Amino acid sequence: MNLQKSEQAIVNGIYAGAAWLILDFGLLLQQHGQEALAVLAARPQMMAGAIIAIACIAGLFFKSRLAAIALFLVFLLPLVLRLIQGAFPPAMFMLLFLMLLYFFLAAVIGTFSYHRLKVSGGKNGESA
């Protein structure tokens, strides 16, 4: 993966994270209507998840490897736990999940590749 592709993978991860947050908030609004903010206030774990996701998306702007891994895990772990408990989601949900998971994984690979290429590019520039 070259530097341009790494940066594009990171940007795609940012877009996927934003889409995930918008979709989650839209589903919350659909289920609870005008009481959506009250539901968020009553369930601090939901608010904490949203804040962590927003912080990770902000970290991706700075090409943070930790933020990319955290966003990937915050997205993946709830579904894995649901699958272990035997609650299988509908096919369309799984399709969307796999699509977003691809972009989050690409962002993780992109951040590591970006930093590896930046370090190797810096060493080549100093020796010349």
**For residue range 30-73, what is the model confidence (pLDDT) as tens digits?**
888 888 788 888 888 888 888 999 999 999 999 999 999 999 99
CA dist 78 → 55, 89, 118 (Å): 18, 12, 34
**Helix (H), strand (E), coil (C) string for the chain:** CCHHHHHHHHHHHHHHHHHHHHHHHHHHHHHHHHHHHHHHHHCHHHHHHHHHHHHHHHHHHCCCHHHHHHHHHHHHHHHHHHHHHCCCCCHHHHHHHHHHHHHHHHHHHHHHHHHHHHHHHHHHHHHC
Cα 124-63-14 angle, rounded to 5 deg? 140
Whether the pLDDT of residue 128 is over 50: the answer is no
CA distance 73 to 67: 10
Per-residue confidence (pLDDT) for residue 127, from 0 to 100: 41
Q: Please, how many CA atoms are within 13 Å of residue 114, restricted to the half-sphere of its CB?
A: 21
- pLDDT tens, position by position, 47-57: 888 899 999 99
Separation CA 89–CA 25 (nearest Å): 18
Query: Which pLDDT belongs to residue 125?
Result: 46
Give the per-residue pLDDT at 126: 46
Q: What is the pTM of this model?
A: 0.85
The arithmetic mean of pLDDT across residues 80-108, rounded, is 90
